[in-house]
Amino acid sequence: MRREKDIDISVVVPMFNEEDNAKNTLDRLTRALDSIPERWEIIVVDDGSTDQTKKLVKDFCRFNRWVKLISYPVNQGRGKALRVGFAHAQGKIICTTDADLSYHEKYILQMIALLHQNQEVDLVVGSPYAPGGKTEGVPFFRLLLSKWGNKILGFAMKGRLSTVTGVLRAYRRECIKSLELESEGKEIHLEILSKALAMGFKIKELPTTLKARARGKSKFRFKATAVSHLVFSFFEKPIMLFGAIGLFLLFLGVAGGVYVIYLWQTGSLNPNRPLMTLIVLLVISGIQVLLFGFLGTQLVHLRKEIYKTQRENKSLEDKIIDLSSKIEKKRKRTKSLLSGGAGMKKPASQQMERMKR
């Protein structure tokens, strides 16, 4: 009989109002996972759905005990759903995918195979924007936003990844479990990559095909997503914001200085105008803003060093727990042997007593 601790693959699927996709998605995922020899589980996290999603998943779970449902009454965002799923996942490899299977389920098997073949890789990201990847049926405006958004966000990270916002991923257990995640919304995808790169985990992209949603309503909210992602990119690389503003102010100051020289050379410079004061203020402000960007960059480096320390502490903690478990098992085994030995001696002593009598 298969036990939970023997599970090799966990697939976490966050769902919110996906009654049109729930059963079809689970059917396709179970068929795909049944084709591999590893033991698997699917963890569906119902993120406060108000439709029939929870009921449909619960009904599906009755026929397949390795599909598990976790739910809570109020919608709290994809970040919360993924964090809950990660906490319950038992597999050595933990995968995530969309509830509408915008990425074909075959890519989950390919990511698992890639991790098996490349032991140095800790995290695989499904990428429609990597060489060999493509999109099908995605609306032009949304595709344009997604491509440029990923370019900007990818520039903010040192890994130079082409896709940083996608949910299709596969993690080694020690990788995802060592990250202390906090995000509630879709920015969790960025947080994971940022912290994984800072901790030294190796990330590889798998070219994939992204298809437009065929059923149900999209949960994409442009304004909220764009604001959170831009804030994250500036938080990840402060020089992007402060550098742009500082250079712009310096440019205005230099341009003003050139204009003053031109007026002086032509004899039309009016000493009563506050132009020189404005130029000085622009130059000083530009230099100060650039210094703020430099200071922010140093703080980011310091934060990433803290992440590395957290990884080392987590690794040491896991080793201590493993060692304690082994010591406890040996103690119990020794105690069992000693109690068994005592049981063997007792009948022998009783036999000697009877012989004396």
pTM of the model: 0.75
Question: CATH number for the domain including 206?
Answer: 3.90.550.10
Q: Are residues 44 and 193 in the same domain?
A: yes
Q: Is the pLDDT of residue 227 over 80?
A: no
Task: Please provide the average confidence, as pLDDT, over all residues in the chain.
Answer: 85
Determine the 3-state secondary structure of 182 from DSSP.
Answer: coil
- Tell me which of 236, 261, 282 is where a domain ends: 236
Q: Are residues 50 and 83 in the same domain?
A: yes
Instruction: Report the number of distinct structural domains present in the chain.
Output: 2
Q: Are residues 49 and 129 in the same domain?
A: yes
Q: Read off the pLDDT band of 122 (50, 70, 90).
A: very high
Q: Are residues 88 and 132 in the same domain?
A: yes
Of the two residues 186 and 215, the one the predictor is more confident about is: 186
Closest CA to 217 of 53, 44, 42: 53
Q: Are residues 69 and 177 in the same domain?
A: yes
Closest CA to 181 of 67, 314, 18, 9: 314
Q: Are residues 278 and 136 in the same domain?
A: no
Q: Percent of the chain scored above 70 by pLDDT?
A: 89
Assigned domain for 89 exists:
yes
Assigned domain for 337 exists:
no
Q: Are residues 205 and 243 in the same domain?
A: no
Q: Read off the pLDDT band of 341 (50, 70, 90).
A: low
pLDDT of residue 3: 44
pLDDT of residue 270: 76
Dist CA 166 CA 125 (whole Å): 8
Segment 83-101 shows an average pLDDT of 95
Q: Are residues 225 and 256 in the same domain?
A: no
Q: Are residues 30 and 78 in the same domain?
A: yes
Assigned domain for 339 exists:
no
Rg (CA), the chain: 29
Q: What is the pLDDT of residues 310-330, one digit of tens each?
A: 777 777 777 787 788 788 888
Assigned domain for 352 exists:
no
pLDDT of residue 2: 45
Q: Percent of the chain scored above 90 by pLDDT?
A: 46
- Tell me which of 189, 217, 236 is where a domain ends: 236
Q: Is the pLDDT of residue 354 over 80?
A: no
Q: Are residues 203 and 272 in the same domain?
A: no
Assigned domain for 355 exists:
no
How remote is the C-alpha of 110 from its chain's centroid? 19
pLDDT of residue 42: 97
H or E element at residue 341: helix 275-356
- Tell me which of 194, 220, 236 is where a domain ends: 236
Assigned domain for 258 exists:
yes
Q: Is the pLDDT of residue 77 over 60?
A: yes
Q: Are residues 56 and 141 in the same domain?
A: yes
Q: What is the pLDDT of residues 27-43, one digit of tens each?
A: 999 999 999 999 999 99
Domain that holds residue 41: 4-236
Assigned domain for 356 exists:
no
pLDDT of residue 200: 87
Q: How far is CA 255 from CA 67, 247, 260, in A?
A: 65, 12, 9
Q: Are residues 158 and 66 in the same domain?
A: yes
Place of tokens 């990844």: 161
Which range among 10-24, 72-86, 239-253 shows the weakest confidence by mean pLDDT?
239-253
Enter the DSSP assignment of 162. Answer: S
Most confident of 158-167, 237-246, 283-292: 283-292
Closest CA to 119 of 172, 180, 45: 172
Which range among 195-199, 297-301, 352-356 shows the weakest confidence by mean pLDDT?
352-356
DSSP 248-304: HHHHHHHHHHHHHHHHHHHT---TTSTHHHHHHHHHHHHHHHHHHHHHHHHHHHHHH
Q: What is the pLDDT of residues 271-301, one digit of tens each?
A: 777 888 888 899 999 999 988 888 888 887 7
